[in-house]
């Protein structure tokens, strides 16, 4: 059986003190060097959280290889098909989630096998044409296609996006302290109004914010304001357009509450006779003085939702979760595009949400045809 371990503190690709970087071990607790080199390759263009997801998939993959007493270079399309069916049958309580997980694992495995072939570890493992064990084809923008990567349930079951009023309810059940409550509400708004993912919200830096004067001018003209993104899924730079009032409120947080966090940790470090290096990130942890983490933010959203349910302000069906903020954003984009009768509305929403393909939007359109959704 393969084992996944993560670092507490490591130097990776020139970055120091990396926490949570994944390492796959064999059943006799030796480093799996092939996967480690692949993970280093991924780390050059992906966040640590994304790289860890790939590592989880590869750990599952190698564990199954050990059960079947196979080497990675023995894998072919028939074995992958059987492996995907096993993943689906392994937990049939939530078949739509199992289908999704199985497709994600196969995608990672195919990418890995393609990389092994490109690096010269095999001549026949994965490539285009009948001479390869795993036969792939070229996708858009340099990606790859394989029939087992497709999620068979992706078009039939879309996750229900949380409504805006549900999201507003959980804001009231966030942290009680004023500074923490203001940070929580702003982070939610960056997800809901900007369509940002968790690590993108936590990765926002102060110098990315347009100045307040520009934001006020956009507010007067009732126009949205552009924000450049440098921390994104896949590591590619992008941009979003957000309400200028969100930028203004964020500056107010930075100039008041964030400044208090910085002062607090400067005093703490001074007592220890150490220097506190102020991070560039907008949203800082009150406990550590470092950037807020996606996991911590997700846990706070989850806790707020459960408390709202316990207080009978929401039902269990009115579920709000962190990535659901992005679902709300995309569903509302679909409704707006339909209302404006925009041609090729899927392409409009794809660009607004920064998805690479229209096909990936299938699970986000649950509120599109619901007249009451808002």
CA atoms of 117 and 107, how far apart (whole Å) = 15
Q: Given this model, what pLDDT does residue 220 score?
A: 96
Percent of the chain surpassing pLDDT 70: 89
Decide if pLDDT at 158 tops 60: no
Above 70 in pLDDT, residue 33?
Answer: yes
Mean pLDDT of all residues belonging to the chain? 86
- Residue with the larger pLDDT of the pair 217 and 93: 217
The gap between the terminal CA atoms of the chain, to the nearest Å, is 47
What number is the average pLDDT over the span 243-252? 97
Most confident of 30-34, 41-45, 334-338: 30-34
Ranges 36-50, 242-256, 279-293, 297-311: which has the least confidence: 36-50
The residues that bridge with 148 in the sheet, in sequence order, are none
Average pLDDT estimate for 216-236? 90
In the Cβ-directed half-sphere of 287, how many Cα atoms lie within 13 Å? 3
Closest to 150 (Cα-Cα) out of 80, 66, 235, 63: 80
Mean of pLDDT values over 334-359: 79
CA separation for the pair 126, 117 (Å, rounded): 6
Contact, 240 vs 196, CB < 8 A?
Answer: yes
Q: What is the pLDDT of residue 154?
A: 44
d(CA 105, CA 158): 20
The CATH number of domain 164-364, selected from 1.10.150.120, 3.30.300.30, 1.10.443.10, 1.20.200.10: 1.10.443.10
Residues 6+ positions from 179 with CB-CB distance below 8 Å: 257, 260, 261, 286
70-113 residue pLDDT tens: 999 999 999 999 999 898 887 654 444 577 888 899 999 999 99
Partners of residue 183 on adjacent β-strands: none
Spell out the SS3 assignment of the chain: CCEEEECCCCCECCECCCCCCEEEECCCCCECHHHHHHHHHHHCCCCHHHHHHHHHHHHHHHHHHHHHCCCHHHCCHHHHHHHHHHHHHHCCCCHHHHHHHHHHHHHHHHHHHHHHHHCCCCCCCEECCCCCCEECEECHHHCEECHHHCCCCCCCCCCCCCCHHHHHHHHCCCCCCHHHHHHHHHHHHHHHHHCCCHHHHHCCEHHHCCCHHHHHHHHHCCCCEEEEECCCHHHCCEEEEECHHHHHHHHHHHHHHHHHHHHHHHHHHHHCCCCCCCCCECCECCCCCCECCHHHHHHHHHHHHHHHHHCCCCCCCCCCCCCHHHHHHHHHHHHHHHHCCCCCHHHHHHHHHCCCCHHHHHHHCCCCCCCCCC
The region that residue 150 occupies, defined by phi over 0 for left and psi between -120 and 50 for alpha, beta otherwise, is beta
Reported as a pLDDT band with limits 50, 70 and 90, residue 340 is confident
Residue 218, pLDDT > 70, answer yes
Q: Binning pLDDT at 50, 70 and 90, where does residue 362 land?
A: low
More confident call, 348 vs 202: 202
Indicate the domain borders of the chain: 3-149, 164-364
CA-derived radius of gyration, the chain: 23
pTM reported for the whole predicted model: 0.62
In our burial notation (b when 16+ CB lie closer than 10 A, e otherwise), range 156-172 reads ebbbbbbbbebbebbbe
Q: Which of 4-8, 51-55, 261-265 has the highest mean pLDDT?
A: 261-265
């Amino acid at each position: 059986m393969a084992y996944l371990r993560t670092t507490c503190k490591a130097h990776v690709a020139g970055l120091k003190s990396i926490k949570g970087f994944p390492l796959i071990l064999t059943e006799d607790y030796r480093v799996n060097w092939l996967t480690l080199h692949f993970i280093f390759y991924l780390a050059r263009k992906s966040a640590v959280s994304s790289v860890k997801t790939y590592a989880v998939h590869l750990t599952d993959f190698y564990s199954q290889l050990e059960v079947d007493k196979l080497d990675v270079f023995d894998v072919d399309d028939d074995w992958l098909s059987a492996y995907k069916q096993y993943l689906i049958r392994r937990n049939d309580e939530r078949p739509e989630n199992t289908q999704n997980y199985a497709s994600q694992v196969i995608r990672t495995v195919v990418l890995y096998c393609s990389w092994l072939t490109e690096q010269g570890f095999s001549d026949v493992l994965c490539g285009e044409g009948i001479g390869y064990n795993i036969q792939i084809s070229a996708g858009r923008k340099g990606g790859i296609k394989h029939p087992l990567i497709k999620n068979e349930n992706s078009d039939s079951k879309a996750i229900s996006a949380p409504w805006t009023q549900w999201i507003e309810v959980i804001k009231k059940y966030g942290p009680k302290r004023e500074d923490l409550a203001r940070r929580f509400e702003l982070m939610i708004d960056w997800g809901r109004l900007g369509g940002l993912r968790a690590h993108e919200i936590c990765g926002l830096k102060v110098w990315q914010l347009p100045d307040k004067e520009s934001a006020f001018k956009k507010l007067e003209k009732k126009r949205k304001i552009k924000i450049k993104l440098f921390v994104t899924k896949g590591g590619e730079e992008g941009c979003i357009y957000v309400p200028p009032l969100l930028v203004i409120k964020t500056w107010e947080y930075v100039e008041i509450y964030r400044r208090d966090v910085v002062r607090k940790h400067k005093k703490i470090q001074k007592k220890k006779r150490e220097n506190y290096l102020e991070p560039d990130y907008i949203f800082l942890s009150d406990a550590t003085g470092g950037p807020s983490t996606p996991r911590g933010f997700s846990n706070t959203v989850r806790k707020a939702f459960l408390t709202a349910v316990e207080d009978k302000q929401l039902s269990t069906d009115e579920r709000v979760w962190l990535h659901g903020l992005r679902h709300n954003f995309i569903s509302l984009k679909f409704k707006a595009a339909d209302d404006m009768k925009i041609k090729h509305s899927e392409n409009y929403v794809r660009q607004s949400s920064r998805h690479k393909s229209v096909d990936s939007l299938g699970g986000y359109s649950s509120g599109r045809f619901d007249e009451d959704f808002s």
